[in-house]
Structure 1
Amino acid sequence: MPRNALVVRGGWDGHAPVAATELFIPFLEREGFTVRVEESNEVYEDEALLASTDLVVQTVTMSTIERTAFEKLRAAIEGGLGFAGWHGGIADSYRNNSDYLHLVGGQFATHPGKPHDGSLGERPGDASDNFLPYTVEINEAGRAHPITQGIEDFDLVNEQYWVLHDDYIDVLATTTHPAREDQPWHRPVTSPAVWTRQWGEGRIFVATPGHDLETLQHPSVRTIIERGLLWASRTA
């Protein structure tokens, strides 16, 4: 049966919303989706379009959303629309809207940078100042879930998201920020790295890795995102 996907992209250019989504559009088309691309979240105002859509893939870092657009998106998700994305495109969107944060269940707080002493690499003054070596650990629930089943723990050198979250998300993988002498926290802090959320009849999927194209093309990251897109798609 034909399915429809809506790619909504924009916001901060540093996350390459166009190039990043172009990595996954061919995958969706191979999986039988007709894909529509919009460069503004104003499209969420179109209730008829959302009703005929099975999956929204959002890559909009920061930016803002009008109240009516958000409310129509939320209502569509509650009615069965799938909502999915990665990194800041879904977990750091619309800081002006606390109800959006409630919908998604987890929000980017920070990505600790390298120590100034050079112990984790030099700080050249660009985005790589925040690239740390870290591990994405698949938990017990993740080992049984179709999104992450069969994927082993894997290492990345990139932004490690510290996420503020609630306990209504179903966490499939985590990452732990170690205690560091140069930082004000005094014990390791574990954040969700991959999670799902059931909202009404709709499914939400979030993966926090994905700052740049290199990370998105890491075999484990790409597999998790592709599976997550399919999992989130409308089921009824």
Structure 2
Amino acid sequence: MTQRRALVVRGGWEGHQPVEATDLFIPYLEGNGYTVRVEGSTEIYADAAEMADTDLVVQCVTMSQITSDQVAGLSAAVAAGTGLTGWHGGIVDSFRASSEYLHLVGGQFATHPGKEPCERHGGAEDNFLPHTVAITDLGREHPITTGVEDFDLVTEQYWVLHDDLIDVLATTTHPTRAWHPWQRPVTSPAIWTRVWGAGRIVVTTPGHSLDVLEHPSVRTVIERGMVWATRIASA
């Protein structure tokens, strides 16, 4: 069997620990028959030959910039069958100025609501809220999330703007609180897939820090998502 090729692209905002976070999953990929190439920038996306030989892209690049030829190269590769996956800001808060990238991924981080103002002290923990990731009916049958029960986290709870081309495997609901301006609970997708041409995309929004990535349910979803997103071999 031909060995599968994974490309790990990491960088951007250091607060999401792109090196340490992706290092958690490289052994899993290697142990499951992938050869892994690691890049510290998105320049490789513009290399059509390299992208055509890549079966899976694991991206962890929060914010940052991307050129038009790089995002066009990534989009073309996915449409041709290269898988794309990632977690948290590394995939859903990347390249905010690129509408082409947002169109590819299907959802964009908007905010993560915070604690009551009197409980904030200026650190990342100001936005760590207890919340539930609820598996949808589709998610209970999907190979990425089958057997995964609803689970609770205390971390950033992503509010995501999205379109309806995504297939939602799990959601999270933002309640109403006296210090927030919205007047009814808002449900956001927390885990989703997207089919783009011949390619598959998987987005997992939990993953702000290493302890969240090591949560058994989060890690299971990310690892299964890598396998599911990988290019489907030709018959």
For the residues of structure 2 that align with 1:67 and 1:5, how far apart are their CA atoms? 23
Indicate the percent of aligned positions where both proteins have the same amino acid: 68
Where in structure 2 are the equivalents of 1:1-236 lying within 5 Å?
1=1, 2-117=3-118, 122-236=119-233
TM superposition shift of 1:102: 0.7
Unaligned runs of 5+ in 1: none
For the residues of structure 2 that align with 1:166 and 1:179, how far apart are their CA atoms? 23
RMSD over aligned Cα atoms: 0.6
Letter in 2 for 1:57: V
Tell which deviates more after alignment, 18-27 or 45-54. Answer: 45-54
TM superposition shift of 1:123: 2.1
For the residues of structure 2 that align with 1:185 and 1:97, how far apart are their CA atoms? 28
Letter in 1 for 2:53: S
TM-score by length of 2: 0.98
For the residues of structure 1 that align with 2:127 and 2:231, how far apart are their CA atoms? 36
Report the 3-state secondary structure (helix = DSSP H, G, I; strand = E; otherwise coil) of the residue aligned with 2:117.
Answer: coil
Letter in 1 for 2:155: N
Report the 3-state secondary structure (helix = DSSP H, G, I; strand = E; otherwise coil) of the residue aligned with 2:72.
Answer: helix
Report the 3-state secondary structure (helix = DSSP H, G, I; strand = E; otherwise coil) of the residue aligned with 1:175.
Answer: strand
Report the 3-state secondary structure (helix = DSSP H, G, I; strand = E; otherwise coil) of the residue aligned with 1:220.
Answer: helix
- 1:94-129 deviation per Cα after TM superposition (whole angstroms, max 9, x unaligned): 011011101100100000010124xxxx32311010
TM superposition shift of 1:181: 1.1
For the residues of structure 2 that align with 1:157 and 1:171, how far apart are their CA atoms? 21
Letter in 2 for 1:211: H
Report the 3-state secondary structure (helix = DSSP H, G, I; strand = E; otherwise coil) of the residue aligned with 1:206.
Answer: strand
TM-score by length of 1: 0.97
For the residues of structure 2 that align with 1:190 and 1:66, how far apart are their CA atoms? 32
Instruction: Count matched residues.
Output: 232
- 1:146-196 deviation per Cα after TM superposition (whole angstroms, max 9, x unaligned): 000001000000000000000000000000000111110000000000000
Letter in 1 for 2:6: A
For the residues of structure 1 that align with 2:175 and 2:141, how far apart are their CA atoms? 27
Unaligned runs of 5+ in 2: none
Letter in 1 for 2:186: V
